[in-house]
Amino acid sequence: MAYNLLGILAAFLSALLFGLNSVVARIVGHRFSESIMLPASLIIGTLVSAAFPIVSSPDVCTKCAAAYAFSGVANFAVARFFFFRAVRRIGASVTSLVISGNVIATALFSTVILGESPSGKAVVGLLFFLAGVAIANNADRGKNMDLVGLASAFLAMLFVSMVNVSIRYANLGHASPFTGVFISYLSALLAFTLARGKDVLDAARLVISRRNPLLILLGIIPLAAQSFRFVALDHIPAFVAAPIFSTSSFIALLLVYLLPSTREKIGLSKALGVIIGFGGIGLTLA
């Protein structure tokens, strides 16, 4: 089946930018904590995306606005909470492996909620992609398999899937994806302010006073990545976009290897996993 090329390109650009953001966050993380980086990113993203409804259509139906708001809170607050909880208990590799299962969950939710069913070839492609992720992460897996950590990773995976489907649902309602980006950021910032107002104030002071270039970059890059994500889900089904979005972990791996300041060795299993993973995406798009 032929899918919209603009949607596919936007999905890959989103993955590229999310991968780049992971590397930048790793560098900035040596200077700032997560409690500063996330609200700072939300503040910058909300301020910049406030212009989006002006240059695009501001008309959004109530259901679409609710879906966009849910995607923002679920993505930036809930999924991230469970993700970091899982990483602390079972490690980043196992957490990434579990969360990669969102490609299957997204396909299931797309079928049930949106009526967009993957073909048999696409299902095989999704399974190949999961195999690639498993192989790439196999060398780093730890033995700490506590149930709370696994449950947290599973919940993070479910919320990532629901975010993809909720964005696609709103876009199918003929809402502007760029207006959706602003609604999602604003909703996430409001939710984060209610939960951790002091962190938001500290981040705002830091953004205003220091104007740290890397901290600003940590707000602009994910905003661009999110924007391409919304555009992609405006043109291609969620089950097609999900595995492409998930290549951000592969891209981050390659960037970490290529950049002198973060260079790490890539083993055979990681390289093989990346090849198989992209091969699976090829099958999904075929």
145 — pLDDT class (breaks 50, 70, 90)? low
- According to the model, what pLDDT value does residue 170 have? 94
Q: Which distant-in-sequence residues (6+ apart) come within 8 Å of 74 by Cβ? A: 159, 162, 163, 166
Residues 6+ apart with CB under 8 A from 128: 276, 277, 279, 280, 283
The chain-wide mean pLDDT, for the chain, equals 81
CA distance 11 to 249: 14
Each residue's pLDDT tens digit, 71-127: 999 998 888 888 878 877 776 666 777 777 888 889 889 999 999 877 777 777 777
| pLDDT of amino acid 80 | 82
Contacts of 20 (CB under 8 A, 6+ apart): 221, 251, 252, 255
Q: Alpha-carbon distance 243 to 237, whole Å? A: 11
Q: In the structure encoding, which two tokens stand for residue 108, read together? A: 């299931």
pLDDT-derived band at 194 (thresholds 50, 70, 90) equals very high
Give the number of residues written for the chain: 286
Query: For a pLDDT cut of 70, what percent of the chain falls above it?
Result: 80
- The pLDDT, as a whole number, for residue 277 is 62
b (16+ CB within 10 A) / e for 173-194: eebbbbbbbbbbbbbbbbbbbe
Range of the domain at 117: 5-285
Q: What is the model's pTM?
A: 0.84
**pLDDT band per the 50, 70, 90 thresholds, residue 30:** low
Question: Is the pLDDT reported for residue 143 higher than 60?
Answer: no
Domain count for the chain: 1
pLDDT tens per residue across span 197-216: 888 898 888 888 766 677 78
pLDDT tens track for 230-250? 999 999 999 889 888 988 777
Q: Three-state SS across the chain?
A: CCCCHHHHHHHHHHHHHHHHHHHHHHHHCCCCCHHHHHHHHHHHHHHHHCCHHHHCCCCCCHHHHHHHHHHHHHHHHHHHHHHHHHHHHHCHHHHHHHHCCHHHHHHHHHHHHHCCCCCHHHHHHHHHHHHHHHHHHHCCCCCCCCHHHHHHHHHHHHHHHHHHHHHHHHHHCCCCHHHHHHHHHHHHHHHHHHHCHHHHHHHHHHHHHHCCHHHHHHHHHHHHHHHHHHHHHHHCCHHHHHHHHCCHHHHHHHHHHHCCCCCCCCCHHHHHHHHHHHHHHHHHHC
